[in-house]
Structure 1
């Protein structure tokens, strides 16, 4: 698909939550199914929406969306060490209200398998998602460029992200943008829950 004119990348706002989660459910169906169960992905999305609304502006920090003709067509998030805050108690309360006790225990455990300890000089990128109709049109590159700009503004020395070893299209994109494989991680638990057990940590040096 050719590059689109008129795409705007901007910080995410609370009214964007529903569209962002719709993107996430489509792009990361394996993660939603693994965390919440394939029969409860809608409830899982509702739990995440309720959590973000409960946290307010804190939940939106570092989150960006790509907007085209009034529609959100892509999103990504960059996290830094300064953004980390302990919201675990509030997350657990909201999840319990939406999912019940046992699904909350399961989902929090499974999601913790994807945790990453962010370094002080790192901008860590997550959740790069673009609507299928708009893929290969330069939107992912625009989102990643905005994340890189944010990292530089915050004085970070490098970007980092995880990608499944099997996701060849994403790996090729990141490599074109200057990322290189820094290390890899294998996990039987992520294989069991997500069907993917080999993850590559890619890095891009900024200084």
Structure 2
């Protein structure tokens, strides 16, 4: 049944999101204890939030590309995922700019103030045709329930299993990449800012239900 493969991909996505939650708690990020690992909305919302905040943070067109890599020459840290940006070539050697830690960045707006990621994520979502990010996340969480539970009239069914599998397996991969950029390091500024914005969004969902 193709539905089984899709359900397993959804499960992989959620488990990878849970790994991020554990990493945030382990590194003692503020308010990380408010992430509800048992609530499927919290786990299902991670991937779309990361995609949206990625759009918010995307560098201007023409900027130098960012790449992920493992530094195999540094045996002590060969298993730590890093970010690098090629900046120049000299005497046949490529030189890179490597932020350390990889997400230890503080983003500010043109006014010099710290950016409101929750507001910017909502703006990007609106541009993509997502009228309510809160309803969108709730809908994604409900996908899992539709896959897991039969109704009185039918068994779970996926119209396009290939597309659904690709989407959820890709989500699991992105979640794991973010986990690897967080877990080995002490508290970094960008994950903290993103966490604060994410909790604001999830809190809004719960407020609308009470």
TM superposition score category, shorter chain reference: under 0.3
> Which protein has the bigger helix share?
2
Q: Which has the larger radius of gyration?
A: 2
Higher strand share: 1
Which structure has more relative contact order (CA 8 Å, sep 6+)? It is 2
* TM-score, reference length from structure 2: 0.27
